[in-house]
């Protein structure tokens, strides 16, 4: 008898040790396991070249759906907060190989290809072509590993049915019930707060976000008032929020009856929806004009020598290149920035950044709006290289094929409306640049000339205006820049030295 008890003693001690493990420790272990998820690396491509942002694609499995990846809207540029869904390059059931283009995404500045870097099958498209203003990480598609699992998502709808929790989440819910022996009245109390924090389970938070429910209005039925899944599913908005005096309640109905019918085709206006690019332009230029202390300096430049040199170089090009006046303007601006580096700077809030090279943004008009592709290191390039690069960038900008690094950054901006016959204009600074040069058309003017028999002569004159940020560029510094700029254009051979 004693020998039998001695044999069972190790097993009894091991069982007692397991029972002695605190519930909180077991709960922490389960939570750590539940937080483990896979992340899919993706890249974007525009015109055959890649960048490398990341997009979350979590692994899920539940009783209702097989294991799958929920792919979110990627952030394809630093300024992107939402995007529009373009043409899907894959259809439901198609196999996806690493590097395949999944869908085209319209960002705030360009149309880009979204490449997926994992193998699998497209099981469901959650954001069809034409979906507008979809926030970053919002679900766009579901990917599965096995082709046989595709059919299981035929009727999947993120709005009609929330994503089922993993098995670990169910374990967490069971452990939460055992975590503490809370009084019965805690089940109807408001959620426990610590400062601004509201206690809720991860699944409850996810469901609340999908249904746009404010957790502060939800009464938790979990331990110590913790909000759980059932609280979100059974939540009904308080009637108090909709309550109003009887007369006021009838007012909307009366207003609805009095509301005019939709405008007929003969109405004198058309409402045009805003594109992402137009929204960004509106936001950035409003911010620039209202927060940057602009000042303006104007200079007149004689363009006779530039026109002669341009004609001579183009005639000797044999069709290899064709220089424009704007190419000379960009090169002269880069040379002047080298001479007056204080203008080649940008405001960074706590400091001023002075750039070592003249990366000049060239304002270009596209059907979707204004964009500023950047010609890098203009100070180190010749006229031929600048001309070729400007033509390529502008062509691809109008085709919506620029990469983010081709229109973000830079140190100075040139905006030329001379080809439209505009004599002069005041441009708005393109932040964080400290200045922008607005260029007008070339006009023939009569000027005094003592060497001429008539006492005057006709010259080709071009007017330019510098808009500068007074936080960075003082007035005298801006004047020095325009003086140097004028010198290079009136003596263009000095740009070649």
**493 token code pair:** 């051979």
The alpha carbon of 310 is separated from its chain's Cα centroid by a whole number of angstroms, namely: 40
Residue 145's nearest CA partner among 95, 90, 103 is: 95
Q: Are 343 and 436 in contact (CB under 8 A)?
A: no
What is the gyration radius of the CA atoms in the chain, in angstroms? 33
Chain length of the chain = 497
Residue 466's nearest CA partner among 313, 329, 296 is: 296
Give catalytic residues, as residue numbers: 470, 474
Q: Which letter does DSSP use for residue 40 in this model?
A: -
Instruction: List % helix, strand, coil for the chain (3-state, nearest 5).
Output: 35, 25, 40
Cα(first)–Cα(last) distance of the chain, in Å? Answer: 107
Distance CA(226)–CA(81), nearest Å, equals 32
Residue 42's nearest CA partner among 32, 50, 52 is: 52
Distance CA(6)–CA(18), nearest Å, equals 20
The alpha carbon of 224 is separated from its chain's Cα centroid by a whole number of angstroms, namely: 41
E-only strand ranges, 107-194: 111-116, 120-125, 134-135, 139-144, 193-194
Which sign does the torsion angle of CA 463, 464, 470, 475 carry? negative
**309 token code pair:** 């040199």
**135 token code pair:** 């926030």
**448 token code pair:** 């005094």
Exposed, middle or buried: residue 38 (CB in 10 Å: 0-12, 13-18, 19+)? Answer: exposed
């Amino acid at each position: 008898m004693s020998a039998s008890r001695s044999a069972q003693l190790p097993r009894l001690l091991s069982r007692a040790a397991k029972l002695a493990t605190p519930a909180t420790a077991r709960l922490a272990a389960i939570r750590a396991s539940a937080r483990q998820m896979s992340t899919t690396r993706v890249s974007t491509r525009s015109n055959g070249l890649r960048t490398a942002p990341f997009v979350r694609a979590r692994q899920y499995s539940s009783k209702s759906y097989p294991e799958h990846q929920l792919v979110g809207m990627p952030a394809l540029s630093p300024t992107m907060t939402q995007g529009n869904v373009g043409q899907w390059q894959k259809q439901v059931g198609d196999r996806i190989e690493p590097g395949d283009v999944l869908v085209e995404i319209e960002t705030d500045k360009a149309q880009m290809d979204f490449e997926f870097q994992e193998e699998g099958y497209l099981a469901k498209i959650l954001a069809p072509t034409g979906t507008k203003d979809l926030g970053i990480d919002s679900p766009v598609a579901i990917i599965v590993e096995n082709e046989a699992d595709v059919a299981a998502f035929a009727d999947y709808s993120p709005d009609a049915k929330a994503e089922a929790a993993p098995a670990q989440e169910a374990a967490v819910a069971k452990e939460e019930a055992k975590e503490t022996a809370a009084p019965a009245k805690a089940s109807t109390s408001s959620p426990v707060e610590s400062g601004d924090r509201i206690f809720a389970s991860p699944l409850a938070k996810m469901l609340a976000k999908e249904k746009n429910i404010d957790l502060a209005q939800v009464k938790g039925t979990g331990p110590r008032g913790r909000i759980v899944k059932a609280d979100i599913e059974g939540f009904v908005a308080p009637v108090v929020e909709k309550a109003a005096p009887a007369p006021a309640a009838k007012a909307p109905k009366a207003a609805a009856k009095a509301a005019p019918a939709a405008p007929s085709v003969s109405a004198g206006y058309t409402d045009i929806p805003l594109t992402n690019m137009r929204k960004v332009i509106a936001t950035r230029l409003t911010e620039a004009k209202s927060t940057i202390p602009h000042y303006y300096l104007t200079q007149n430049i004689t363009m006779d020598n530039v026109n002669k040199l341009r004609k001579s170089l183009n005639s000797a090009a044999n069709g290899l290149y064709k220089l424009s006046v704007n190419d000379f303007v960009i090169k002269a601006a880069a040379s002047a920035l080298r001479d007056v580096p204080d203008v080649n700077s940008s405001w960074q809030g706590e400091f001023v950044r002075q750039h070592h090279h003249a990366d000049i943004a060239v304002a270009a008009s596209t059907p979707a709006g204004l964009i500023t592709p950047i010609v890098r290191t203009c100070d180190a390039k010749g006229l031929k290289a600048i001309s070729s690069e400007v033509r390529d960038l502008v062509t691809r900008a109008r085709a919506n094929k620029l990469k983010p690094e081709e229109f973000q950054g830079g140190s100075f901006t040139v905006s030329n409306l001379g080809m439209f016959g505009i004599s002069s204009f005041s441009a708005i600074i393109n932040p964080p640049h400290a200045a922008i040069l607005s260029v007008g058309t070339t006009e023939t003017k009569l000027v005094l000339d003592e060497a001429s028999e008539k006492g005057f002569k006709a010259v080709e004159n071009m007017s330019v205006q510098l808009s500068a940020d007074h936080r960075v560029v003082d007035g005298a510094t801006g004047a020095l820049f325009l003086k140097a700029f004028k010198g290079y254009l009136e003596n263009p051979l000095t740009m070649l030295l």
